Amino acid sequence: MKKIIYFIPLFILLMISSCISEFNASLPESDENILVVEGNIHSDSIISFYFSKSFSLEEDYLPGGYNDVEVKLHVVGDNGYRSEQATYVGNGEHLIYIPPLEESVAYGIEFQYEGDTYQSTLIKPVRTPEIDSISFSQAGAGKEVFITASTHTTRDEAAFFMWSFIEDWEYSARYPTSVFYDFVQGRYVDYGDFIKYYCWKKSKNQSIVVGSTEKLNENRLINKNLYSQDAQNERFSILYSTRVVQQGISKGAYEYYLDLIKSNEGMGGLFTPLPSGIEGNISCNSASKKVIGYIDVSMNVTHCQRFISANEILRKPIANYCSEIESEEIAKRMNEWGLSVEELIISGTHPYFPEWGQPALFWTGIECLDCTRKGGTKNKPSFWPNAHE
């Protein structure tokens, strides 16, 4: 008996990661190399479908070729519609254009792989309502920040949803300076106002979030919890943005993802261990061939963005871990250790000049002067509302 991990890419919704989560279940060795399919049909869109194989948890790393899977894929409808064949672009990814869908027609995918034919259950498209609002809350100062969504539908029957989100945030270096040592010129140079003071980071969610109005008195979700962040997180140091994508899904898809989440005790994400009993809605003409995945169909997705400024979060000031070494102490160390200015700066310590032409106040870690050293970039999002550069 081996532990098997079922690799669920969720590339459309989730961010690429290199982490494999442990799943404490011993499964038959025969459950290795099960075909895994991921992707959803969206009206009038270019869609990616991903194919991969399950593999043993005894693997320390992603095994080579786990996603080296090429199929002949078409989108089909119960009205006789059959799309052009999808284009394989490598690493299990297949691109296909899906034209505007008809609400009265049920759609799915059909593909051929290693001589067998697979097909997903045909499903009529689900229309996604608008997101009413995105909110946040805290239970008290320093407590977690919870991001929530509210939505409703006028349909008589219960509604089912899946959410994904993209986070962007602005942060800064500790000290503002435009004076840095230029190794090419061999001298200090003024690069302009606060050239590396403001930076931005981006993150895509790595979790599966679903919700339903099935057990509610009306088809309305109010402040559905999507995710949370630590109040002391760098995200809330200046300005934070969350862009939530909402997708209406079928009841079958909701139950599939809910089972997946429960089976992993909330560890749903890119590398999702999945017990063999959760197989989804794809079948093979050969009854002995297993396949995992759920192909859903939607007419549209909806979006909503929310900005949160630092002064809206109840927390202590974000800790400053920047050391300040007096210039006299630096000169002493350089003399004792026989270091040049270039060598000291290469080691990660840099003088802080408040303005060009003034002497250095002190020396500190380069990450305290250059925000890009903390993993961010100077690529300011086009939608960012403030004038920082």
**Host H or E run for residue 243:** strand 239-249
User: For residue 128, which amino acid is it?
Assistant: T
From residue 89, how far is each of 69, 70, 114, 183 by CA, in Å? 11, 9, 18, 42
Residue 204 lies inside a defined structural domain of this protein: no
**Same-domain status, 115 and 50:** yes
User: For residue 81, which amino acid is it?
Assistant: Y
Burial class (CB in 10 A: 0-12, 13-18, 19+), 305: middle
Residue span of the structural domain in which 84 resides:
2-126+251-299
Please name which of 293, 201, 247, 203 lies closest in space to residue 10, comparing C-alpha atoms.
293
Residue 310 lies inside a defined structural domain of this protein: no
- Please give the model's pTM, rounded to 2 decimal places: 0.84
Residue 168 lies inside a defined structural domain of this protein: no
- Supply the DSSP symbol for 254: H
- Give how many domains the chain has, as a whole number: 2
Residue 186 lies inside a defined structural domain of this protein: no
Q: How many residues does the chain have?
A: 389
Structure token digits, residue 161:
């949803």
Residue 386 lies inside a defined structural domain of this protein: no
Contact of 179 with 195, CB cutoff 8 Å: no
What count of other Cβ atoms lies within 10 Å of the Cβ of residue 368? 22
Return the C-alpha torsion angle 172, 178, 180, 182, nearest 10: 120
Residue 85 lies inside a defined structural domain of this protein: yes
Q: pLDDT of the chain along its 389 residues, tens only?
A: 444 444 444 433 332 222 223 333 334 455 567 899 999 999 999 999 999 988 765 556 667 788 899 999 999 999 999 999 999 999 999 999 999 999 999 999 999 999 999 999 999 999 999 999 999 999 999 999 999 999 999 888 789 999 999 999 999 999 999 999 999 999 999 998 888 999 999 999 878 899 999 989 889 999 999 999 999 999 999 999 999 999 999 999 999 998 888 876 544 343 444 555 667 999 999 988 889 999 999 999 999 999 999 999 999 888 888 999 999 999 998 999 999 999 999 999 999 999 898 999 999 999 999 999 999 999 999 999 999 98
